[in-house]
Amino acid sequence: MSRPEAKGWCPGAYRPMMSGDGLVVRVRPMLARVTREQVLGLCAAAQEFGSGVIDLTSRANLQIRGVREDDHEALLQRLAGLDLLPDDPVLEGRRNILITPFWQAGDETHALAQDLTERLAELPEMPAKVGFAIDTGVAPMFHENSADFRLERTPSGELIVLADGMTRGRVVARDAAVDALIEMADWFAARRGDTRRMAPLMLKTQLPADWQGTLRAAPAPALTPGTTEGGAIYGVGFGQMDARRLAALMDATGAEAMRVTPWRLILLEGAELFETSDFITRADDPLLRVDACPGAPLCEAASVDTRSVARELAHVITGPLHVSGCAKGCARPRRCRTTLVGRGGAFDLVRDGLPWDEPRLTGLAPDTLKDRIGEN
């Protein structure tokens, strides 16, 4: 089976997406960092203009949910006043850049991300979901995350540019690294046809030989909640935050800023871990291995309440779990040991597969899932 067609664009601040609870307005933080004042202002805006819910996305962005159409312009003005809309609408839509959360001001990762941001206007026209990763720490962190064009390191520490889906790339000098990213984007745009992402293009088109000559470094261990040199890391269940509780956490910890990640984790700069039931503080919390989309009624494509089911099953299912409101699998468009797919108010069970694969069981009522999944 093939994946059902998903929307070909992502919501932005200027171009929000309508969902079951209102408009979804996406904010792309510069360098994945939001100052204390910006976090508190964003929380206040989410309560005033939206439902009070802020999503942390798989692209390390923030989304205000439940915005009324009549309030969209006022929200844009508030975001601009917080300096959270630093570029024009066209460039804002292109700024899909993942950056490792442990960068320091003035280091190479910081400089590369700034250089790419300043040169977004040089990029060719590409599909809206295309993105970049500045993954230039000692070991790359974004191997499992969506990014079409990547800067990483070789095992010996040299910079390397590589295409998504490849294990080898091309060594580049620091002052030529962003040039190489733009060159690869131009190559993709000229050859992609109706293909929207780099990895699928790699299955049918050969890269130049010198772009696949050097092995990338092995990935870093997965990040988990805890205290680090840069601050405290908190988990966010299903990537959904209550604005009041996020503001309270900022006040309680005295954090200087918040860095966002694509792993449903936030890093609070200069803070120590503060025990709270509002966020995940333990590395072994079962919610960290569960993916679940908003589901019904927040998503019009879903017919099931995904997150209440996911919370109930997280403590009884061993291993990764994906609960999807429909077969598009937006929360985890990758293989998973156990996947539940909503259909017609019930669930289908997929084992070791993709949400759109042939299910092992169909039509499972929500109140029977614990027993039926254990049997199969």
- Model confidence pLDDT, tens digit, residues 281-296: 999 999 999 999 999 8
The CATH number assigned to the domain holding 34 equals: 3.90.480.10
User: Same domain for 81 and 136?
Assistant: no
Q: Read off the pLDDT band of 8 (50, 70, 90).
A: very low
> Per-residue pLDDT averaged across 197-206, rounded?
94
Report the pLDDT averaged over residues 332-351.
92
Residues 254 and 324 in one domain: no
Cross-strand pairs, 194 = none
Quickly count: other Cβ atoms within 10 Å of residue 367's Cβ.
Answer: 9
Residues 110 and 188 in one domain: yes
Q: Note the pLDDT tens digit of each residue in 139-175.
A: 999 998 989 999 999 999 999 999 999 999 999 999 9
8 Å CB contact between 205 and 160: no
* 122 and 184 co-located in one domain: yes
If asked whether residues 149 and 81 sit together in one domain, one would say no
pLDDT at 150: 98
Residue 22: its H or E element:
strand 22-27
Determine contact, residues 264/290, Cβ cutoff 8 Å: no
Instruction: Give the pLDDT of residue 359.
Output: 93
| Residues 107 and 64 occupy one common structural domain | no
Number of domains in the chain: 3
- Check whether residue 112 and residue 211 sit in a common domain: yes
SS3 124: coil
Sheet containing 231-235: order of strands:
33-35, 257-260, 265-269, 231-235, 226-228
- Asked whether residue 358 falls in the same domain as residue 306, the answer is yes
CB neighbour list of residue 263: distance below 8 Å, 6 or more residues apart:
145, 222, 223
Domain assignment of residue 276, yes or no: no
Residue 2 has pLDDT above 70, yes or no: no
In a domain, 278, yes or no: no
**79 and 120 within one domain:** no
Q: What percent of the chain has pLDDT over 90?
A: 82
Please, which residues bridge with residue 280 across strands?
Answer: 235
Domain edge (last residue) among 215, 239, 259: 215
Residues whose CB falls within 8 Å of the CB of residue 56, separated by 6 or more in sequence, listed in order: 62, 236, 239, 240, 241, 260, 261, 264, 266
- Report yes or no: 246 and 43 within 8 Å, Cβ to Cβ: yes
Instruction: Please state, as a whole number, how many other Cβ atoms lie within 10 Å of the Cβ of residue 193.
Output: 9
pLDDT tens, position by position, 223-259: 999 999 899 999 999 999 999 999 999 999 999 999 9
- Is 252 a domain residue? yes
Q: 173 lies in a domain?
A: yes
Within this chain, do residues 134 and 79 fall inside the same structural domain, yes or no? no
State the Cα–Cα distance between residues 108 and 111, nearest whole angstrom: 5
The range of the structural domain enclosing residue 335 comes to: 286-375
The predicted pLDDT at position 6 comes to 53
Would you state the pLDDT for residue 4?
A: 60
pLDDT at 102 over 90: yes
- pLDDT band at 374; cut points 50, 70, 90: low
The per-residue pLDDT of the chain, averaged, comes to 93
Task: Give pLDDT tens digits for 307-341.
Answer: 999 999 998 888 899 999 999 998 888 899 999 99
**Are 242 and 296 in a shared domain?**
no
The separation between the first and the last C-alpha atoms of the chain, rounded to the nearest angstrom, is 21
Two tokens at 250?
């900022």
Q: Is the residue at 92 inside a domain?
A: no
Residue 279 domain flag: no
Q: How many Cβ atoms are within 10 Å of 358's Cβ, its own excluded?
A: 10
What is the residue type of 329?
G
CA–CA dist 146, 32 (Å, integer)? 15
pLDDT for res 62: 97
Would you say residue 275 lies in a domain? no
Q: Does residue 371 surpass a pLDDT of 90?
A: no
In a domain, residue 307? The reply is yes
* Residue 229 and residue 196 share a domain: no
For the stretch 25-79, pLDDT in tens is 999 999 999 999 999 999 999 999 999 999 999 999 999 999 999 999 999 999 9
